[in-house]
Amino acid sequence: MTAPLFLGVDGGGTKTRFVLVDRDGNLVASHEGPTSYHLEVGMDGVRAVLADGVAALFRQAGIDGSAVAYAFFGLPAYGEDSAAQPLLDAMPQPLLGHSRFRCGSDMVCAWAGSLAGADGINIVAGTGSIGYGERAGKSARAGGWGEVFGDEGSAYWIAVQGLNVFTRMSDGRLPRGPLYGIFKAEFDLGAGLDLDLCARIMNAHDRSHVAAASRVVARAAQQGDSHAIRIFDDAARELVAIVDAVRRLLDFAPGEPVPLSYSGGVFEAGALMLDPFRRHLAAQPATYSLQAPIVAPSGGAAIYAARLAGEPLSAAAIAHLGSLL
């Protein structure tokens, strides 16, 4: 295999996705591994996830690192700890056998995929939440401070709001709606055993386990629970606030259309999230042009790798990749 290949890694709080793409947008190999969030699994954990994923790609494609023209490793919480950054930066070299790579934040993968690397803003609402955009060579981010500080609008945040409503319904501070019964069934809480939910959640020791409860909140909202519906409305408002902060940081001119896209599992709730998101966007002073993501974040990492190599993928190649990822 002599054609240049681009390796993209989209790390996340729940999963890490690896793709190998050629210049025509063909998906040569792909792999999915566990989280590469160093605050959860440690540096050795990240190193193992990356090593396993890269090795899996190379086995599938029948190549070694020399066939990779360039790689981009988008890692969660990258750039948020000056002591951790050089350790993360050093991880890919022994896996590839060369230095044709760059590490960065996973927010770049989401932006590059959703907008195909064009100027504009992407909002991520997955396990965590963050906004990132580029315009005229300038980049900016907002949000993404982590679940302790906020991560407003994320799956983790939605889950915590839902858990809070359950506790209030359980002990009588709120009337019991559909959310109460759905949580009891999901976590197999028998009569008089509501407090067992504390152990089910607190003993998990990872944020992805907590974030998964956002899907329970979504089911409650779809069954008409007013408190669950409010949680998704509040989440949409928080995500729009992140988007608008990025817009201001990028100095979009008054009246200038702002290309905007989205990614992350929270948006898989469809209209439950997108309808209030559009409504809160419309209340902003800017003109947003909301579009569905073109390529998944893992493909965005490969698109960005090609750009870093000085061999950007053509529009046709990106469209083809979008049909695959």
pLDDT tens digits for range 259-298: 999 999 999 999 999 999 999 999 999 999 999 999 999 9
Interaxial angle between packed helices 178-186 and 155-171, expressed in degrees from 0 to 180 and rounded to the nearest 10 = 110
Alpha-carbon torsion (263, 102, 49, 80), positive or negative: negative
| Mean pLDDT value across the chain | 96
- What is the pLDDT, as a whole number, of residue 203? 86
Q: Is the pLDDT of residue 166 over 90?
A: yes
Alpha-carbon torsion (205, 8, 85, 239), positive or negative: negative
Q: How many residues comprise the chain? A: 325
Q: What residues have CB less than 8 Å from 301, skipping those under 6 apart?
A: 8, 9, 10, 19, 72, 73, 74, 108, 109, 112, 113
- What is the pLDDT, as a whole number, of residue 27? 97
The average pLDDT across 112-141 equals 96
- b/e map 225-247, b = 16+ CB within 10 Å: bebbbebbbbbbbbbbbbbbbbb
The average pLDDT across 152-177 equals 98
Angle at CA of residue 298, ends 161 and 276, nearest 5°: 35
Q: Using 50, 70 and 90 to split pLDDT, how confident is the model at 38?
A: very high
Q: Using 50, 70 and 90 to split pLDDT, how confident is the model at 18?
A: very high
| pTM passes above 0.95 | no
d(CA 58, CA 81): 31
- What is the pLDDT, as a whole number, of residue 208? 87
Tens of pLDDT, residues 195-253:
999 999 988 768 889 999 999 999 999 999 999 999 999 999 999 999 999 999 999 99
Q: Is the pLDDT of residue 2 over 80?
A: no
The average pLDDT across 132-161 equals 96
- What is the pLDDT, as a whole number, of residue 204? 75
